[in-house]
Amino acid sequence: MKPGSRYYQPDTPSGCVPPADMRNRAAADIFADMIAGKYPTAPIAKTLNFKLTEVSDGFAEFRGVPLVEHYNPAGSVHGGWTATLLDSALGCCVHTKIQAGTGYTTIEFKINLLRPMFENTGEVICQGRVLHFGRTTAVSEATLKTADGKLIAIGTETCAIFPLPPKS
């Protein structure tokens, strides 16, 4: 993907997975449908120009292209863009391991920003992997790299795992 290109056009629909599907479907099926375009683009992914590209048990990959719209006042990509991409991979790799009717949320996450990004950085690849998956917590790690493999940032995350409340 060329620098400055967009994954999503302004008229691409965005939305969330229906709550009933989150309660009743396995994460693997939900993610397969996301990648296939059967669910709308997540609003945050549309806004920040990234997308889910691959999942498997304990693994999630996102790809994105930073744009000038993601710049901070100093003239480089804002750390929040990087943090959001890392948080997405860190959380979704945990999500691949949970059963239908179970939820998760981030307890804490930490990132190290190792090099700046600009609109000419081009496509970046963020891969998250589960390190620990327990009954009530999970820990994951992720890397963010340029298309040619240069490390941009790393992150770790701890998630709480819990039963979803019954439908009211």
Cβ-count burial 117-146 (b if 16+ within 10 Å, e if not): bebebbbbbbbbbbeebeeeebbbbbbbbe
How far apart CA 54 and CA 49 sit, in angstroms, is: 16
Beta bridge partners of residue 55, listed in sequence order? 60
Beta bridge partners of residue 99, listed in sequence order? none
CATH number for the domain that contains residue 112 = 3.10.129.10
Q: Tally the domains of the chain.
A: 1
- The pLDDT tens digits for 27-59 are 888 988 988 889 888 899 988 999 999 999 999
- The pLDDT tens digits for 56-87 are 999 999 999 999 999 999 999 999 999 999 99
Q: Do the domain assignments include residue 66?
A: yes
Task: Note the pTM of the prediction, 2 decimals.
Answer: 0.92
Q: Do the domain assignments include residue 4?
A: no
The pLDDT of residue 10: 65
Q: Do the domain assignments include residue 5?
A: no
Q: Do the domain assignments include residue 11?
A: no
Q: Do the domain assignments include residue 142?
A: yes
SS3 for 71-138 is: ECCCCCECHHHHHHHHHHHHHHHHHCCCCCCEEEEEEEEEEEECCCCCCCCCCEEEEEEEEEECCCEE
Residue with tokens 């307890």: 107
Q: Do the domain assignments include residue 10?
A: no
Q: Do the domain assignments include residue 117?
A: yes
Q: Do the domain assignments include residue 3?
A: no
- What is the extent of the structural domain holding 121? 19-163
